[in-house]
Amino acid sequence: MTPRRALLAAPFLVPSLARAQAPGASYPNRPVRMVVPFTPAGTTDLAARILAERLQVRLGQTFPVENRAGAGGNIGADVVAKAEPDGYTILMQAISSGAINYTLYGNRMPYRPEDLAEVGLVVRVPNVIFVTNALPVRTLRELVAHAKANPGKLNIGSSGAGTSLHMTGELLKLEAGIDLTHVPFRGAGPMLAEVMAGRVEVAVDNLPSAIGHIRDGRLRALAVTTATRTPALFEVPTCIEEGLPGVEATAWFGIQAPARTPRPIIDRLGEVIDSIVKEPDTKARIADLGGMMPDLTPDGGTTPAAFTAFVREEIRRWGEVVRRSGATPD
């Protein structure tokens, strides 16, 4: 090509080169860190590991899971909010650090909703109210009666202040008119161990992390917090059936990234997550744990825009619950 022809062709080559090098075109080309803001073995961790496995298969790079627990999920979420916005640090966000804590912690929150960008909702799960086998109650109604006869003498555990488990416990106390002492833990694993040992009498957990212990008889489930029974534990009634319709809560877990992450990367990752949550194998694994599809789109999936709208509504809704209950993170 003559110098003159090369000069004339240059304006046409530049757009092609720009398209080839556009953000997201080759993403990811190295491992992507997935931060989990809770301890291992809880539902947030389980959801992250299921997704990380499928993302590796789909995108050809590893997605190592890093647990950064503390402050109801705030510590891990803040790590991602302040990370380089290049798509190589993402967050498996939970309902606590993604919605509840903005009101619960108020001006003590280290980040704000606008510091994170929604990528895709991965799973929604019921919460389950259960007791240690040593407690002489077999139904939620019996627990309420026992608590009223022993005000302030029962402890109720959760995986941390600000979690949907904490808030479900607050709803239970409000709706039933009972006095239980909240005992927050740094994750589901330590909390479950204390309930099975009988040192904490009552607890609330996301169904996926508790279901194995319930099925094995190490814990006694009293009620789930969804509007209808869950197929994974169909013999357990809802709080509505037990006379407490106000105790309804669905926890959720989804991927967020630093707010300034390039849009093409957000969209690419969002499309892959949407396809993963629709895979028959993924759906079966989630259902066996008691989880449910995202259902943010008509076909049961998720998009960044739909997840953003969902998160904004969750912040509003749980803000009202926090104010009504008077709950604090301390």
Express each pLDDT in 228-263 by its tens digit.
999 999 999 999 999 999 999 999 999 999 999 999
Contacts of 240 (CB under 8 A, 6+ apart): 227, 248
Q: Which two tokens stand for residue 193?
A: 């161990």
Per CATH, 31-124+250-325 and 126-233 having the same topology is answered: yes
* Residues 165-183, mean pLDDT to the nearest whole number: 94
What pLDDT is recorded for position 187?
83
* Residues 130-145, mean pLDDT to the nearest whole number: 98
Band (pLDDT 50/70/90 cuts) for residue 183 is very high
- Listing DSSP states for 21-84 in one string gives TSTTSS--SS--EEEESS-TTSHHHHHHHHHHHHHHHHHSS---EEE---GGGHHHHHHHHTS-
Query: What would you report as the CA-atom Rg of the chain, rounded to the nearest whole angstrom?
Result: 22
**CATH (one of 3.20.20.300, 3.40.190.150, 1.10.760.10, 3.40.50.720) for 31-124+250-325:** 3.40.190.150
What pLDDT is recorded for position 7?
45
Domain 126-233, what architecture?
A: 3-Layer(aba) Sandwich (3.40)
What pLDDT is recorded for position 22?
60
**Global pTM?**
0.85
Band (pLDDT 50/70/90 cuts) for residue 5 is low
Q: Is the model's pLDDT at 20 over the cut of 50?
A: no
Q: Which two tokens stand for residue 248?
A: 């309804």
Of all residues in the chain, what percent carry a pLDDT higher than 70? Answer: 93
Q: Which two tokens stand for residue 37?
A: 């803001």
Q: What are phi and psi of 119, to 5 degrees?
A: -110, -50
- The domain spans of the chain are 31-124+250-325, 126-233
Express each pLDDT in 75-117 by its tens digit.
999 999 999 999 999 999 999 999 999 999 999 999 999 999 9
Band (pLDDT 50/70/90 cuts) for residue 168 is very high
Mean pLDDT for the chain overall: 92
Band (pLDDT 50/70/90 cuts) for residue 17 is very low
Q: Residue 237 carries which DSSP code? A: P
Alpha carbon distance 313, 309 (integer Å): 6
